[in-house]
Amino acid sequence: MPDIQPPAVEKFTPTQHQQFVPNTGLNSVESRSYTSGGLGIGTYAFLVAVLVVALGVGCFYVFLTQIKSQSTAYEAKNNDLKNQLSTGDYAKMEKTLEDLTVQVSSFNSVVRSQKPFQKMFDAIKSTTYKKAKYSSFSVDKNGKIAISGITDTYTDLGIVLAVFSSSTDITNFTVGTFSGGVNSPSDSSKPALANAAKVNFSVSFDYIFASTPVVQNTNTNNTNVNANSNSSTGGTK
């Protein structure tokens, strides 16, 4: 059996250049300390994460506490203001202002309900046919007008009604009644209705107070008249 000798291992002597390479191989103890031995980089990362989360929780807590304390402070202020406003001079002032508001609004409504009767009378004058005479006239605050009067003929009455019904300031024009006699047939050249003597009539309508004055018509002086009015049936506009 030949005696086999292992080859002689030359002692490794680092060259000058190799001396700068650290003597830490992959399996060296120093190398292992980064992975399994000691506190690895992963552990430190977790610790940092914990610190970040803790910081976040801390900030969150401080923020929450601040908001709560602010809210409490505002509540205290509000309670103080409520107390101030609900008692003493402020309460009296508030009541006074409420009363004044009611007074002013009541006054305004009174002023608003003062209807311009001058415009209404002007409008009625301008829509009245000069041959018609009124025996009675009534108007209320809503502009509801009832007139009874007299004309010489049915033709005149027809003109009266036509003028009223064409007025832009008048709505719901209604002929209540009209009646009259017929003249003796001396003037037989005219139709019988044109010869009717003294036709009494009554009409009613709504005057629109807010509107502009009506179109100027014939005559104005028509509030004086005979006070007779018979009745019969009429029609509506």
Partner 1 sequence: MKEGKSSLGLAALIIFLSLFGIGYGFYYMNIQSADLKDAKQKLEITKIENKALTDKKVALDAAAKKLIQKDGDLKLLKLAMPKGPNLSEALIESDSLFRSLQSNAVPGVQAKSFSVGLPVLTDGKIPVNISIDSDVNSLIAMIAKYYNNIRPFTVESINITSSETPIFTSNLQMNLSFVPTTGAVSTEKKQENSNQNSATE
The answer to whether 223 and 133 have CB atoms below 8 angstroms apart is no
Nearest by Cα to 200 from 175, 217, 219, 166: 175
How far is it, in rounded angstroms, from Cα 204 to Cα 175?
6
The answer to whether 204 and 145 have CB atoms below 8 angstroms apart is yes
Q: Shortest distance, CB of residue 13 to partner 1, whole angstroms? A: 31
Interface map 27-56 toward partner 1 (x if CB under 8 A)? -----xx--xxxxx-xx--xx-xx--xx-x
Near partner 1 by CB under 8 A, which window of 131-139, 152-160, 180-188, 193-201?
131-139
Residue 213 DSSP label: P
Binding test (CB under 8 A) with partner 1, winner from 165, 223, 230, 234:
223
Please, which residue, 9 or 29, has the CB nearer to partner 1? 29
- Tokens 């509506």, residue? 236
Please, which residue, 134 or 154, has the CB nearer to partner 1? 134
Residue 81 near partner 1 by CB under 8 A: yes
Residue 141 near partner 1 by CB under 8 A: yes
Near partner 1 by CB under 8 A, which window of 80-88, 160-168, 181-189, 197-205?
80-88
Please, which residue, 156 or 195, has the CB nearer to partner 1? 156
Backbone angles phi and psi of 183, in degrees to 5 = -65, 160
- Secondary structure of residue 206 in the 3-state scheme: strand
Q: Shortest distance, CB of residue 157 to partner 1, whole angstroms? A: 18
Residue 98 near partner 1 by CB under 8 A: no
How many C-beta atoms lie closer than 10 Å to residue 130's C-beta? 14
Q: Shortest distance, CB of residue 210 to partner 1, whole angstroms? A: 16
How far is it, in rounded angstroms, from Cα 55 to Cα 221?
98
How far is it, in rounded angstroms, from Cα 82 to Cα 115?
45
Residue 64 near partner 1 by CB under 8 A: yes
Binding test (CB under 8 A) with partner 1, winner from 18, 34, 87, 94:
94
Please, which residue, 55 or 192, has the CB nearer to partner 1? 55
Sheet holding 144-151, edge to edge: 144-151, 196-207, 170-182
